[in-house]
Structure formats: structure tokens, C-alpha cells
């Protein structure tokens, strides 16, 4: 079951939650990566989100600690030309939707404390991207997603330290990664000027 508890007041989601996604109507960045002979290592619920299409290896994990551990393992296992894709879902499901400001802050501090373990595994030509798929301000009323702009942070050797122009769509992120990985461009999106 995707939750435990006896009533609405004490329901808690478990890591057994699954997203039953409809496959994308056109090839995704992940599909293009695999078609070009690369690999896509999906950590956590990423495989579910993409209907298990364009995924070459899946690392099941739930909870921030286990997601960080699985991400580290995936990065360590990854050969050249691999995208390691993790969704740290706890920020959304455990803290954002629950409007748990303190828990959200503590989770950010925990993630910040573990991030150097991931970056230490990166090779000189690796690209690190951190972003969010939507807002989920834990101080907002209600339980729905919120509408604030999301961060898009790129890091890697040779990437200029500068503020990028605001992206208009998530497709811009995909196009930027396709360009960096030197694979066929995605059908939509404009690449960011990282260099």
C-alpha cells in the first residue's frame, strides 16, 4: 500500500507509492540518450514517471538518506555517456504537500550536508544539474503545488559562473543536456549558454 495510518489525520505515504504514467507522445531526452548508445540510470521514482521508457537501469530507493545512497551508487556505477536521474521526492511528498516548514528546512540541511559526497564522485567532464519539477512552498495554504519559479543550477568543469536567462520551459533543460551530451536535439526547447 502507498500509505499507512488509520485516518486522514495520521496517513503517511510509504516508499511503495508508484506513479502510473502514460508514455510521452514523442521521444524524450532519455529515449534519445539510449538511442545514441548511452545509458540512463533512474533513481527512485524516475522510472515510473517516464513509464520505464528510456531507462537502462533502475535503482529503487525511498527516503532522502536512501536516495542519496542510491544516487552515489548510480554515479559510481555509471559508464561514460550516462545520465543519472534522481527525484528527491521527500521535499514534495513529505514536507511540501504536508506544509511542514521545519521538516522541509531540516531536509534541505541534510541534503546540503550529503551533497559533497555526490560531487566528490563526479569526473572532470560530468555535468551536475539541480532543479525542481514544480514549486511546493511549505508555508503556503492548502496542499497543492505552488507557483513560484524553480531553481535551475548547472555545475561542472568549464561551466561559466553566471546567471542564465530565465528558461521558458522544462524543454530548455532537456535541450541543454542534449547539447552537452552531444546527442540528437530534442524536438522542443532552447539550450542555455553554459560556457
Q: If you ran DSSP here, which 8-state letter would residue 95 be given?
A: I
pLDDT value of position 88: 86
d(CA 23, CA 48): 10
Q: How many CA atoms lie within 13 A of 111 on its CB side?
A: 17
- Mean pLDDT for the stretch of residues 91-103: 72
**Mind listing the pLDDT tens digit for each residue in 76-91?**
999 999 999 999 888 7
d(CA 131, CA 87): 10
Q: How many CA atoms lie within 13 A of 65 on its CB side?
A: 1
Burial profile 95-107: b = 16 or more Cβ within 10 angstroms, e = fewer:
bbbbbeeebbeeb
Can you read off the three cell numbers belonging to residue 65? Answer: 538518506
Q: Give counts: helices (H), strands (E), the chain.
A: 6, 7
- Mean pLDDT for the stretch of residues 92-114: 82
Can you read off the three cell numbers belonging to residue 58? Answer: 533502475
Closest CA to 87 of 33, 18, 171: 18
More confident residue, 166 or 15: 166
pLDDT value of position 54: 97
56: phi then psi, degrees, rounded to nearest 5: -100, -25
d(CA 180, CA 195): 10
Amino acid at each position: 500500500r502507498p500509505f499507512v495510518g488509520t485516518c486522514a489525520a495520521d496517513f503517511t505515504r510509504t516508499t511503495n507509492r508508484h506513479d502510473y504514467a502514460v508514455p510521452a507522445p514523442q521521444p524524450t531526452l532519455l529515449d534519445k540518450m539510449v538511442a545514441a548508445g548511452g545509458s540512463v540510470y533512474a533513481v527512485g521514482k524516475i522510472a515510473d514517471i517516464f513509464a520505464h521508457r528510456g531507462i537502462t537501469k533502475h535503482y529503487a530507493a525511498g527516503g532522502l538518506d536512501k536516495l542519496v545512497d542510491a544516487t552515489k551508487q548510480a554515479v559510481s556505477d555509471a559508464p561514460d555517456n550516462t545520465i543519472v536521474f534522481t527525484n528527491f521526492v521527500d521535499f514534495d511528498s513529505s514536507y511540501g504537500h504536508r506544509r511542514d516548514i521545519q521538516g522541509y528546512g531540516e531536509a534541505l540541511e541534510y541534503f546540503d550536508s550529503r551533497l559533497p559526497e555526490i560531487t566528490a564522485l563526479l569526473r572532470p567532464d560530468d555535468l551536475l544539474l539541480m532543479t525542481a519539477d514544480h514549486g511546493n512552498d511549505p508555508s503556503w495554504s492548502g496542499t497543492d503545488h505552488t507557483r513560484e519559479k524553480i531553481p535551475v543550477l548547472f555545475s561542472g568543469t568549464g561551466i561559466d559562473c553566471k546567471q542564465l536567462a530565465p528558461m521558458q520551459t522544462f524543454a530548455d533543460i532537456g535541450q541543454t543536456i542534449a547539447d552537452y551530451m552531444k546527442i540528437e536535439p530534442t524536438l522542443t526547447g532552447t539550450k542555455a549558454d553554459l560556457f
